[in-house]
Structure 1
């Protein structure tokens, strides 16, 4: 009886899979090829020049055909592999010359349990109360945070969802974050709120309706922008908004340009003149309220303060998507009429000034722990170098924002990375590419792994990959 092919152990991450010949590990990123562990993904190099794709490459084995490497090639961490936990140097430590200066770029794929995604959703529609749990496939993966100007924010992932709950919670959280970071759509439910489909760089879909525009501003801001456009065409304008509903005759902008009082009364919490809070509960209606009939927020008109038969009223939402025109009858009741042509242009102007509604996904991770030991023998010096601006941190070649304070906590817009840049390991954790670029002298001074520094040509000779057509704009400056 023939013996079963021998499995070999992969030490690319703490899972340490035993992999049979011709098979991949649990992460699908490493395989057993004829008794050797090989990367299944090519190392991605970015260049302004158009390049070619790669194939399976063994660790540190010559597999390059000698094609010229573009002079501006930038080695990324995408497909580079990892040395986590980093008791050994990072997979690629590449030397180069930039404008005559000797530079070093340390490249790795970092494994992140301490990571999450911050999602900005451009919409006035009600997604859910602040702090509400966000679920995917029934599992909690994050929560709603603050509402910003025309946008709703979600915080997803994090170590507690990845590893602190059930296995299903960790698995679903990891899969959802991976999909979002790689630009794929994810459907999620907000407790007490909406079902929303999020995809980086695409319009959100809220309760089955694709958003088109984010609001131009709150009701007060809208009046400030367009009061002059309405003067003389209509007697009163109410801009309906979940946050601040504006009334032009009472508003400072209206007063300054000589708007006459109309005797209107708004049901809501009056702030400063012409600005009202809480005219309605949040929802899917006008201006992010639950309103389908805007007249619900109006009380009795006061003839002693300017109300009169024939008074013309325009009610409009902050995106210009909802609008209605009314004329007061003899009993001072609003009667809906067709919108006059001269007012249509003002409503269209609101719409024109609204930005396209999009979802923005930022990956956020803490590049701490032993990852830094793969870069330098004294890891805290790397932290201080990054915080001090000596070391430039990029992710897949894309610019990052590094948070002040302790550690290396960074954010990156996932749409700035080449497609498929993120991976995972089944611990569960996300895998993200990182590049640390700094002057060679500074690298050696922090205790860098001098013996592992290779030129770009050496890296290509000994297991690098071909440049791809992926581009990052702006090109990473060294």
Structure 2
């Protein structure tokens, strides 16, 4: 159980707020630990006064090995994640498995899952209260299916651009600029990828709104756009292609974070080296301390420079060095060597998670890491690990809201259209691409740019992105929501116009 030094404790309550089990309470300005403590060490990590330390193990507790935290769960209690209970020395899962029950096949949903026509090239009926330019009907799966299409100027437009790269291209929250004009911002990084959000109503209506919608339109049309991240790198981005960072094409993303690499390649590393530090700007892995490595090799006595997260996982600082960190010389990743555990002749591998850069060191009798050439076996392993890295790509989602006046071209009762979309009675697509409609009010959606018909967007100087919008619904339900029934045309009539091209919707 966690131990509290009452002399050092200042009653700040950081430990109380951090404890996921409510096992730490501040009573009369001093922290008190209850028997429900599972030794997850969350309190220890936040304590500023160094009043918390690891105490004696509770009798009959069980060490949980299901993640790197390694809670010590007392009898009858749960660990920090609350997934397992210690029942008489055995960790028992707290929830049953959930197995899917098949729903009956809904043929109507299949019939409306794809639009009859795309809105690309459809034009618009303006003002919006006029029926949409094309409202067409065709029989699908024995259902009379209607698709309503229009190319609508959307001011509430955004674009989420994902950039696969292990390079630290810029800080979260940094502005994204085009020709000196702010068009978006960097947001939360994802697994091996950076994400920027472009546009949004506040930028679109701002002084640089025209640059904003032009940028989104060109990226959505899969054209190359150059962007500069504030205090970061210059990017040449084209959806579906490798990112170009400061003029250099980045072709491969990492296979996993440093901790993941320890698990992915545990059997190989355990046979080739005595220790490995897999450098990553998110989570760096120390092989012999990582649970996967600990099953292969004894502790090495090697200490990395980063801040300890959980066992075998460290946080390094961002930078332009190895793995997107501030490590420019692989030797600098090794903070210290404890020769009470280490031994002369030990081999220590330092590598990036892309496996493009690796370095091998041998510990001498003074405990110093000395660089040595890679062995042929290690080089063969490096090539295998690097071969598991995926291509770096630029991808994007059009992220917008269509709850505005363009709904009037679909129905005289706009709230009914919104409800139909959320209930699945009407299917929204953008340039033929399926959408994920976000829960809650309005019709806010995300759609994959690469699933759209090529070059789907234009823009107006209002400013707004002009997006091709399609709603597909059964005719009876279209009438029920106040649709423009008298404007429905058979699809065959549209084909007779001769102004069309075939498209195949992406799966």
TM-score (norm 2): 0.75
Which deviations, in whole Å up to 9, do the C-alpha atoms of 1:87-117 show, x marking residues without a partner? Answer: 1100001011002211111111111100010
Q: Does 1:261 align with 2:296?
A: no
- Aligned partner of 1:451 in structure 2 is 486
Q: Does 1:433 align with 2:456?
A: no
- Aligned partner of 1:283 in structure 2 is 319
Task: Answer yes or no: is the 8 Å Cα contact 1:144–1:154 preserved in 2.
Answer: yes
TM-score (norm 1): 0.80
Which deviations, in whole Å up to 9, do the C-alpha atoms of 1:16-47 show, x marking residues without a partner? Answer: xxxxxxxxxxxxxxxxxxxxxxxxxxxxxxxx
Alpha-carbon RMSD across the aligned residues, in angstroms, is 1.5
Deviates most, 331-340 or 91-100 = 331-340
Task: Answer yes or no: is the 8 Å Cα contact 2:116–2:138 preserved in 1.
Answer: no
- Aligned partner of 1:228 in structure 2 is 267
- Aligned partner of 2:256 in structure 1 is 217
- Aligned partner of 1:42 in structure 2 is none
Deviates most, 426-435 or 229-238 = 229-238
Within the candidate set 465, 469, 472, 2:505 is matched to: 472
Q: Does 1:88 align with 2:122?
A: no
Q: Tell me how far apart the structure 2 counterparts of residues 244 and 370 of structure 1 sit (CA, whole Å).
A: 47
Relative CO higher for 1 or 2, CA cutoff 8 Å, sep ≥ 6?
Answer: 1
Q: Does 1:295 align with 2:347?
A: no
Task: Answer yes or no: is the 8 Å Cα contact 1:84–1:370 preserved in 2.
Answer: no
Q: Tell me how far apart the structure 2 counterparts of residues 239 and 141 of structure 1 sit (CA, whole Å).
A: 35
- Aligned partner of 2:444 in structure 1 is 409
Give the deviation of 1:152 after TM superposition: 0.6
Q: Tell me how far apart the structure 1 counterparts of residues 410 and 310 of structure 2 sit (CA, whole Å).
A: 56
- The verdict on how the C-alpha distance between 1:314 and 1:230 changes in structure 2, with shifts beyond 3 A counting, is same
Q: Tell me how far apart the structure 1 counterparts of residues 142 and 303 of structure 2 sit (CA, whole Å).
A: 71
- Aligned partner of 1:143 in structure 2 is 185
- Aligned partner of 1:115 in structure 2 is 157
- Aligned partner of 2:344 in structure 1 is 309
Which deviations, in whole Å up to 9, do the C-alpha atoms of 1:138-191 show, x marking residues without a partner? Answer: 00000000011100110001111111x22xx11211111111000011111111
Within the candidate set 134, 145, 154, 1:103 is matched to: 145
Task: Answer yes or no: is the 8 Å Cα contact 2:162–2:395 preserved in 1.
Answer: yes
- The verdict on how the C-alpha distance between 1:193 and 1:92 changes in structure 2, with shifts beyond 3 A counting, is same
Q: Does 1:363 align with 2:402?
A: no
Give the deviation of 1:347 after TM superposition: 1.4
Secondary structure of the corresponding residue to residue 404 of structure 1: coil
After TM superposition, the structure 1 = structure 2 runs for residues 51-66 of structure 1, keeping only pairs within 5 Å, are: none
Unaligned runs of 5+ in 2: 1-113
After TM superposition, the structure 1 = structure 2 runs for residues 41-52 of structure 1, keeping only pairs within 5 Å, are: none
Give the deviation of 1:472 after TM superposition: 2.4
Q: Tell me how far apart the structure 1 counterparts of residues 306 and 461 of structure 2 sit (CA, whole Å).
A: 52
Give the deviation of 1:331 after TM superposition: 2.0
Q: Does 1:195 align with 2:234?
A: yes
Which aligned segments of 4 or more residues in structure 1 are displaced greater than 4 angstroms?
A: none
Q: Does 1:347 align with 2:385?
A: no
Deviates most, 294-303 or 221-230 = 294-303
Q: Tell me how far apart the structure 2 counterparts of residues 394 and 232 of structure 1 sit (CA, whole Å).
A: 52
Task: Answer yes or no: is the 8 Å Cα contact 2:168–2:281 preserved in 1.
Answer: no
Task: Answer yes or no: is the 8 Å Cα contact 2:115–2:471 preserved in 1.
Answer: no
Give the deviation of 1:73 after TM superposition: 9.2
